[in-house]
Amino acid sequence: MRSLILFLIRYNAFVLFLLLEVLSVYLIVQNNSFHETGFIKAANNISGFVYSRYDDMRSYINLKSENERLINENSYLRSLLPEAFYDNSYQIVSISDSNKKQIYTYIPARVINISTNKFNNYVTINKGSLQGIRPRMAVISPDGIVGIVKQVTPHFSSVITLLHQDLEISGRIGMEGFVGSIYWDGKDSRYVKLKEIPKQIVIKNGDKVTTSGGSIFFPENLVIGTVSSFSNETPDNFYDITIRLSTNFSTLQNVYVVNYLLQSEQQSLTPPDEK
């Protein structure tokens, strides 16, 4: 015991160093799971506060282009309203929609901080659990998809973007609707990769890649991006496809959080190893 204390006093700096490194590793491991710990929540609260103040200042600069984007989206959505259609049926059958059930609701939010240049990138948005956001909800933008909510605090949420090594989502391509996995290779924030598409199907540059049905996160048929280049000079039977993302992460401002009302029900049937 005496010699242990003597050792600790003699090498106090080294012992402190080891202790703090172990603590850091513990934090890294904690942060890599969907579980929330008090410390991570506190950290998100502090950073959310500072970033939202900063965003208040900064948002004026992009006001004009952002408005245009929203106007475009609004006009598109208006075109989908029932009032936009001329009813040319002879007989009006009214159905009280008991055979249709709403399964997606959308919560609008603003991006207050975003990173695109790391290996694992996140977005912080200004809505949190008070607005009904929970971890594992999908986040989409007017142009495409963004990512999945990781942590929530009462007023803020942090979102894992597509530009994160741990996030793989399925994407559908071509006439036949082949489904492959989309992942980011860590290089350019405008492009992602699509794998597991067999070489026998025909694809060409400009082909649309959309979300596949059956995801526990994203609604079906959202545009992810277009094929920007592909090669079949791979050792295996699959293409090497590069996708140009339709979401521009460097100017991202307004997003929607997708609340999939049947998520937990669907998840209860999914094998536990699929996140």
Partner 1 sequence: MIADIVLQAFRFVIILLLQILVLNNITLPGVFNAYIYIYFIMTLPLSISHSALILVSFLCGLSVDVFSNSLGIHAFTCTFIGFLRPYIITLLKPSGGYNPEDKPRLYSLGFRWFVMYSIIVVFIMHFMLFLIETLSINQILLVLTKTLSSSLLAVIIIILIEYFFYKRKS
- Positions touching partner 1 (CB under 8 A) are 12-14, 16-17, 20-21, 23-31, 39-40, 43, 46-47, 50-51, 54, 115-120, 122, 124, 158, 165, 186-190, 250
Q: For partner 1, which is the closer residue by CB, 12 or 270?
A: 12
Whole-number minimum distance, CB 198 to partner 1, in Å? 23
Q: For partner 1, which is the closer residue by CB, 226 or 251?
A: 251
Whole-number minimum distance, CB 93 to partner 1, in Å? 52
Whole-number minimum distance, CB 218 to partner 1, in Å? 21
Whole-number minimum distance, CB 60 to partner 1, in Å? 16
Q: For partner 1, which is the closer residue by CB, 16 or 262?
A: 16
CA-to-CA distance for 18 and 8, rounded, in angstroms?
A: 12
**Could you tell me the two tokens for 126?**
């200004």
CB 227 within 8 A of CB 270: no
Residue written as tokens 């008991």?
98
Q: For partner 1, which is the closer residue by CB, 7 or 119?
A: 119
Q: For partner 1, which is the closer residue by CB, 17 or 76?
A: 17
CB 189 within 8 A of CB 179: no
Q: Which residues face 243 on adjacent strands? A: 192, 227
In terms of Cβ atoms closer than 10 Å to its own Cβ (0-12, 13-18, 19+), residue 71 is exposed
Whole-number minimum distance, CB 187 to partner 1, in Å? 4
Whole-number minimum distance, CB 86 to partner 1, in Å? 47
Q: For partner 1, which is the closer residue by CB, 228 or 267?
A: 228
The vertex-135 CA angle with 129 and 138, nearest 5°, equals: 105
DSSP letter assigned to residue 270: S
Torsions phi, psi for 54 (to 5 deg): -65, -40
CA-to-CA distance for 259 and 218, rounded, in angstroms?
A: 9
